[in-house]
Each structure stands twice: as structure tokens, then as C-alpha cells.
Amino acid sequence: MSPVGQDSSSAAVVSGVDAVRLVEYEDERQLSDIMALVDRDLSEPYSIFTYRYFLHNWPGLCFVAKAGERTVGSIVCKAEREVEDDPLTGYIAMLAVDTSFRKHGIGTALASKAIEAMRDLGCEEVVLETEVTNGGALNLYTKLGFSKNERLMKYYLNGVDAFRLKLWFR
């Protein structure tokens, strides 16, 4: 059985320990929960201004996984053109799932929902970076069709290299 289904309100549902709903980012009330998840999971420190840059400019590309009222996962994305005539490119900036809710398909469901939203928006590709040592992220994105596009030496503040991964739609 697939971990992702639909409930009567058509919000994606992930089955596992508890029913988990995926909802679109609404407003600043969700910001502290998103920041707490990302700060625990990702090696890069982000300021509140970085979060607001993504969440205020592309709220329709940012999703939250909720178990009841508890935020257990989030994905923060954007879509833009480098220059005016370039194709629209999606970018996954942050994906985090609470450790006690991992291995239930929540990360896959969040990424899939964001990718679908970027495709619907007209993006021709989706790009992201992840640490070369992050096997979980590499597996997740490979299963979703991403390919390693480039190795970025000492990309992160902790000195770890990154892979730039891409998913092409066309």
C-alpha cells in the first residue's frame, strides 16, 4: 500500500504512526515550527530573513506536514528565472522531517507535492543541493527522478561538499 493517499478534503495524507496531512504554508504562525524543524535537521544556519524570503514570495511552493496540530515536516521552495527570457526553474531550498516521523513517506510526499506544484507553475526543471554525505536525501531524490548534475566542493559552512541535483520535466 502506498504511504500517500487522499482524504475527503483532498489534502494529501501520509499513513504511518499517526495520520499526517500535507497543507500549503498559510502564514507567519507556522514559521517558528518550520524554523525549528529545519534548524534541527540541516547543517546550514538560516536567518529568519531567509525563511521569509521563500515563504512570503512563494507560499504556494511551501508545504507543511501536520500530525494533528503538530508540525512534523516541511518543504520550502521557490520558482524563478535567472534572467527574463530563461525558463522557469524550481528550487527546493529546505526539506525536513521530524526524526520520530521518518521512514513513513513524509519526505517523499512533501517533495512530490512541491514538485507537482512547480510543474503546474510551468517550471522546466527543479534543482537542489544536498550534502554528499546525506544518504537519506540522495536516496529520496534519486527515487523521485533527480540526477547528480554537479559536485560543489566545500559548499557548506561545515566544509562538506554538495551535489547539485536536477529533475528535468522537458
Tell me whether residue 11 is in a domain: no
State which residues form the domain around 55.
20-168
Biggest CA-to-CA distance, the chain:
47
pLDDT value of residue 8: 34
Tell me whether residue 139 is in a domain: yes
CATH number, domain containing residue 105: 3.40.630.30
The answer to whether 109 touches 116, Cβ cutoff 8 Å, is no
Tell me whether residue 5 is in a domain: no
Tell me whether residue 4 is in a domain: no
Tell me whether residue 1 is in a domain: no
Write 134-139 long-range contacts (CB < 8 A, 24+): 136/102, 136/107, 137/95, 138/163, 138/165
Tell me whether residue 77 is in a domain: yes
Give the Cα separation of 42 and 50 in Å (integer): 14
Share of the chain above pLDDT 90, in %: 75
Confidence of residue 43 (pLDDT cuts 50, 70, 90): confident
Tell me whether residue 3 is in a domain: no
Bridge partners of 127, per DSSP, are 91, 166
Domains: count for the chain: 1
pLDDT value of residue 168: 96
What would the mean pLDDT of 32-48 be, rounded to a whole number? 89
pLDDT value of residue 6: 38
Tell me whether residue 12 is in a domain: no
pLDDT digits (tens, 9 = 90+) for 94-115: 999 999 999 899 999 999 999 9
